[in-house]
Chains A and B, each alone.
Chain A
Amino acid sequence: MYRYDNYDQTLVDERVAQFRGQVARRIAGELTEDEFKPLRLMNGLYLQLHAYMLRVAIPYGTLSSQQLRKLAHIARRYDKGYGHFTTRQNIQFNWVSLEETPDILAELASVEMHAIQTSGNCIRNVTADHFAGVAGDEIEDPRIYCEIIRQWSTFHPEFSFLPRKFKIAVTGSPHDRAAVKVHDIGLRMHRNESGEAGFEVLVGGGQGRTPVIAKTIRPFLPKRHLLSYLEAILRIYNQLGRRDNLYKSRIKILVDSVGVDRFTQLVEEEWQQIRDGYLELPAAEIERIRGYFAPPAYRALDGKVPDHEAQLRRDFRFARWTRTNVTPHKRPGYSVVTLSLKPVGGVPGDATDAQMDAVADLADRYSFGEIRVTHEQNLVLADVETSALYALWQRLHELGLATPNVGLASDIIACPGLDYCALANARSIPVSQRISRQLGDLTRLLDIGELKIKISGCINACGHHHVGHIGILGVDKKGEEFYQVTLGGSADENASIGDIVGPAFSADAVVGAVETVIDTYLTVREDGERFLDTYRRVGLAPFKEKLYAAH
């Protein structure tokens, strides 16, 4: 993984010193809360319903075991003993104090971490495929380009006060696990006719109150032009994006209002002015960064693991976990393991300090000391020898991290909702917990198959409900929590925005509504058909009929 040199370290250290000064000025009364707010937000410090919340950046979701131990320490020392992994592959601490935040940032800096640009109207943490580097269908490791973008975007002097927050995602594989079509900019690596790898550039995707699938503005961008092209897009957006209405200020609204053809033309014209300038990336710089993401020292294995086969036959619980939580690795004899942070009835994405420490140890022992955070709020050990899976599974089981539900209906994404968030209209976590309990039966979960349920507590859509196969949106109706249900959303390479089924359900009725949707699917599905495929075949009508039959 990437390691800081003296330059990176200096910048992060100076940021800590700057923020320490800002906090001191705030506590001394030299800064009003209004003046302090943008400064703390640029360091990921939010004032939530009950306390300050600190969002720490995990660039493109990759952590070392040392970094994860530091996060565990912070959870223990400065919080209530847990952290919350988010849909942007970051971690949030929900109970920090303002006075101690500079110390937390200093602790983070000591392990090459920070909270820079995890909030504010700037370029946020760049996200990537959580199977980067190990997926069989990958062209190049997207994290190389994420790191290049991270450096370019950090403290960017021109783009720190954009009309609105700005999110970039990169996938290096045809199968999109990074949801690039619902980002402000999505970069999808592919090869052109001459076999050269480059990027399809998509712009204007997003969720929030106006969900939009991103549009392609350049089918193929050579890698050397990556930064100049991004700078051109951001410059057009910074100049022309609306600033008069919070809800119309994302780039998707600009693209929609001027039209994708005109927007493309503006970007291309700007790019022509700067494309051969000092932002051009030489191959040697790409290779220098690539060196940090070189494959670990894999052993030469032949892929035949007789013990593993025997263990699968002997222990059905291990076999069941393997089926859902283990993914093939591009190297023979290795496997990719997803650690579920979705125990039955648990809080999606939460991990205790003890779990984080234990996962760090397991990463050291089994996976070259590296951990990934997924945008679906799970953790990944990407390089596990298949022969070690049984031992790893036993340990994960003890830790409560082996729920065999990855990709299944209880692998729910949920935002923090009204339990924590000042913006929320309704609670997300309790709904998620109730659905998870309701669907707790593992045999039934497997029968239901791949089903992504995503829950947001307000229209800002942090829980990605628009792209859930079943999406649930909390709304406030005269002081009561109600939940709107959408069906048929998807965030992969065939991305789609879910359709609203009809009037919202009360908090009491929403779990039953999800059950009804699932039962309807089980009734109408054809052999081997996933929920999403069934929905795309039969449409909304049969679901709607069942959901509102009694009314």
Chain B
Amino acid sequence: MPLIRKTGAVDDPWATLEDEAALPAGGAVVVSLARWQANRDALLARPGPLGIFLRSDQPPSLIAADLERFDLVALDFPKFTNGRAYSSARLLRERFGYRGEVRAVGNVLRDQLQLMLRCGFDSFEIPETADVATWLSAFRDFSLAYQPAADARTPVAALRHRPALARRVDHEEDDAAPARRSDDAAVEASVVCAGYWAY
């Protein structure tokens, strides 16, 4: 499956490890929650990045205590109509402070990308047939947002009360995806969010 970020198509270094498959010596692997729970020690002892895949009925609270072990959390959309992972992504970012990669996998539609980005996803598996340029343009469908979420976007309410912030919108648009933002950017984002209604 092609992989995109907000900035463009990217190579995917991650391999999905089937539950019965032998653990490879190196390389980035994504495991299921069951595999993680069964093989925790072996997975941690192994060199190389570790990612975890959560089904839509597996809330991130199940891995909250272990989040620092994972470089990637892949959240599944079994059908595009199943929106549980939007909440999971926000909880990962806002409740549990997760800074690693949050990837949308499964039945992802072009016109959902901006919503996912706002909830804290920063990489997206898209269909083989997808035209990457068309899909990337989805991130620019809306230049504003009414409500605060997991991204750094300044909500309309804050822009209304602090017009000076409006000039920062374009700047934020150019930022890297939120989870990869520098600590400074993260601090700035939290300041902006704290100022949602402040004026």
Contact = CB atoms under 8 A, between A and B. Distances in A.
A327 interface: no
Interface in B175-196: 193-194, 196
A158 B145 CA distance: 12
B197 A278 contact: yes
15 contacts: A18-B111, A18-B142, A38-B80, A151-B146, A151-B157, A154-B146, A156-B146, A158-B119, A159-B83, A161-B86, A235-B87, A239-B84, A243-B81, A279-B196, A284-B199
Interface string A271-304: 0010000111110110000000000000000000
Interface in A1-39: 5, 7-8, 10-11, 14-15, 17-18, 22, 35, 38-39
B111 A39 contact: yes
A247 interface: no
Contacts of B114: 157
Interface of A: 5, 7-8, 10-11, 14-15, 17-18, 22, 35, 38-39, 121, 151-152, 154-162, 235, 238-239, 243, 273, 278-282, 284-285
Nearest to B84: A239
Interface string B79-105: 011111011101000010000000000
Contact of A157 (B88, B95, B115, B157): B115
Contacts of B90: 158
Nearest to B195: A278
B59 interface: yes
B197 A7 contact: no
Given A15-B142, A18-B142, A159-B86, 17 more contacts: A7-B159, A11-B142, A14-B141, A38-B80, A151-B147, A157-B115, A157-B116, A157-B118, A157-B149, A158-B87, A158-B115, A159-B83, A238-B87, A239-B87, A273-B95, A279-B148, A285-B157
A27 to B, nearest CB: 15
A161 B82 contact: yes
Nearest to B153: A157
A158 B117 CA distance: 10
A161 B77 CA distance: 11
A121 B84 CA distance: 12
A15 B142 CA distance: 8
A157 B146 CA distance: 10
Interface residues of B, number: 38
Interface of B: 59, 80-84, 86-88, 90, 95, 109, 111-112, 114-116, 118-119, 141-149, 156-157, 159-161, 193-194, 196-197, 199
B197 A281 contact: yes
A249 B188 CA distance: 39
A239 B92 CA distance: 14
Nearest to A122: B83
A278 B142 CA distance: 22
Interface centre among B59, B81, B147, B161 (most CB of A within 10 A): B147
Interface centre among B112, B149, B156, B193 (most CB of A within 10 A): B156
A280 B148 CA distance: 11
A282 B197 contact: yes
Nearest to A154: B146
Contacts of B111: 18, 22, 39
Contacts of B109: 35, 38
Given A39-B111, A239-B59, A7 B196 contact: no
Given A121-B81, A161-B82, A238-B86, A285 B197 contact: yes
A152 B141 contact: no
Contacts of A15: 142
A238 B163 CA distance: 33
Contacts of A22: 111
Contacts of B149: 157-158
B144 A7 contact: yes
A281 to B, nearest CB: 7
Given A10-B143, A38-B109, A121-B81, A278 B194 contact: yes
Contacts of A285: 157, 161, 197
A5 B119 contact: no
A124 B193 CA distance: 26
Contacts of B86: 157-161, 238
Contacts of B116: 157
Nearest to B197: A282
Contact of B83 (A5, A154, A161, A278): A161
Contacts of A278: 148, 193-194, 196-197
Contacts of A243: 81-82, 84
Q: Which 10 A-B pairs have the closest CB atoms?
A: A161-B83, A157-B118, A278-B196, A157-B115, A7-B156, A158-B86, A151-B146, A18-B141, A238-B87, A278-B148
B87 to A, nearest CB: 5
B82 to A, nearest CB: 5
A158 B161 CA distance: 24
Interface centre among A14, A18, A235, A238 (most CB of B within 10 A): A238
Interface centre among B80, B86, B88 (most CB of A within 10 A): B86
B146 A155 contact: yes
A11 B114 CA distance: 14
B60 to A, nearest CB: 10
Contact of A10 (B80, B118, B144): B144
A152 B157 CA distance: 10
Contacts of B141: 14, 17-18
A447 B115 CA distance: 56
Nearest to A273: B95
